[in-house]
Amino acid sequence: MKRPLFIIFIFWFLFTGHLYAQEINFGQYATEGIVLTNESPHSGGLNFGQVIEGDGTISIQLTDPEVVVFSIEAEIDKDIFVTITPPARLVYDADNKMDYTLQASYSNKGNDNKSQAVTINGTSVRFPVLARENKPPGTPPTPKHGDNTTPTTKAYLYIYGDLTVSNTEGGSLAAGLYTGTINITVSYEEQN
Residues making contact with other proteins (CB under 8 A) = 4, 7-8, 11-25, 27-28, 30-36, 38, 44-53, 58, 68, 70, 72, 86-87, 90, 92, 98, 100, 159, 161, 163, 165, 173-189, 191
Nearer to other proteins, 134 or 179 (CB): 179
Q: Which positions ≥6 away from 81 have C-beta within 8 Å?
A: 124, 125, 126, 186, 187, 188, 189, 190, 191
Question: In angstroms, what CA-CA distances link 127 with 14, 79, 139?
Answer: 36, 5, 17
Measure the CA–CA gap between 121 and 134, rounded to whole angstroms. Answer: 21
Measure the CA–CA gap between 44 and 51, rounded to whole angstroms. Answer: 19
Nearer to other proteins, 115 or 192 (CB): 192
Nearer to other proteins, 70 or 130 (CB): 70
CB of 89 to other proteins, least distance (A): 10
CB of 133 to other proteins, least distance (A): 25
Neighbour count for residue 18 (Cβ, 10 Å): 4
CB 124 within 8 A of CB 185: no
Nearer to other proteins, 134 or 192 (CB): 192
Nearer to other proteins, 36 or 131 (CB): 36
CB of 30 to other proteins, least distance (A): 5
CB of 4 to other proteins, least distance (A): 5
CB of 134 to other proteins, least distance (A): 27
Nearer to other proteins, 90 or 117 (CB): 90
Measure the CA–CA gap between 74 and 106, rounded to whole angstroms. Answer: 14
Tell me whether residue 51 is exposed, middle or buried, using C-beta atoms within 10 angstroms of its C-beta: 0 to 12, 13 to 18, 19 or more: middle
CB of 66 to other proteins, least distance (A): 11
